[in-house]
Amino acid sequence: MKKKKKLLTFPSIIVLTVFAILPLIIMLVYSFQSDSGSSGVTLENYTNFFLKSVYLKLTYRTIINSLAVTIISLIISYPLAYFMAKKFKGLKNIVMILILIPFFTNQLVRVYSWLIFLQDGGVLNSFLQSVGLIEGSLGILFTQGAVVIGLVHAFFPYMVITIYLALERVDNSLLEASSSLGASKVRTFFQVVLPLSMPGVVTGIMIVFVPCLGTFVEPRILGGVNGTVIGTVIEDQFFEIYGWNFGAAIAFVLFAMVIISMTGLSRIGRRYDNE
């Protein structure tokens, strides 16, 4: 019986090996080779990355952006997931479909929609002008703000879903017990609901923060002259100057950052699992 179960994982193991682990190893080998043609193992790509302030600056900008996207997504997602799990009854499925729509939209279509929506003289601009909130042009397109908006739209559904799943597993009788013991609604939330839903929050943060680090389409299109992030630097290395080796090295620095943040987050998550 056990053997049979193991056999079922076989296809996925092969797919992972051939399409994820092998390419990673190839990339790792690239990252230790020189772009200037000399053969042999070299650390020059990594020293170049860490010694030039420009790459560190862009890395910092990328992390700040991703943190902003993650925090905003969390602020939007938690209440939404809470109401879906605990308050909405029949509406739940409709809300879920509405949240999932961005998944079914092509990435470029989604980004270009934001471009049109946010541009000066665009839909949002005209609306804010007509209700008298602003005069003149909005000026939000081609800023980091526009990038964050675009990324939040792309990633917050993941957060809603993971938190929703965690909240749904919270037994309602626990909430009743809490209130019958005299706890206020606020206290029940902070002492019962929130700790029990933390694994969902941590998973959500992981699923949003990690892919944000590597995005290049939203920054490129919505960020204008200030849209450069570490993802666009990698893209330029591969497509503009065929600097595969340096590009691979930057990708691995990014990969290391992902591993570190995942480890940290899963530590935090485990603490709540034990309770």
Question: Using CB under 8 A as the criterion, which residues of the chain lie in contact with other proteins when the complex forms?
Answer: 3, 6-7, 10, 14, 35-37, 52, 54, 57-58, 61, 115, 119-121, 142, 220-221, 224-228, 233, 236-237, 240-243, 246
Q: Cβ(185)–Cβ(100) under 8 Å?
A: no
**Beta carbons within 8 Å of 57's beta carbon, 6+ residues apart:** none
Q: How many residues does the chain have?
A: 275
Give the separation between CA 119 and CA 141, rounded to whole angstroms: 5
Nearer to other proteins, 34 or 266 (CB): 34
Nearer to other proteins, 26 or 101 (CB): 26
Give the separation between CA 253 and CA 221, rounded to whole angstroms: 24
Q: Which amino acid would we find at residue 264? A: G
Min dist CB 89 to other proteins, Å, is 44
Nearer to other proteins, 7 or 186 (CB): 7
Min dist CB 18 to other proteins, Å, is 8
Min dist CB 261 to other proteins, Å, is 22
Min dist CB 58 to other proteins, Å, is 5
Min dist CB 42 to other proteins, Å, is 15
**Beta carbons within 8 Å of 122's beta carbon, 6+ residues apart:** 116, 138, 141
Cα→Cα distances 91→88, 167, 213, Å: 6, 17, 34
Angle at 71 between CA 66 and CA 74, to 5 degrees: 125
Nearer to other proteins, 115 or 175 (CB): 115
Nearer to other proteins, 77 or 228 (CB): 228
Min dist CB 50 to other proteins, Å, is 14
Nearer to other proteins, 36 or 263 (CB): 36
Q: Cβ(168)–Cβ(85) under 8 Å?
A: yes
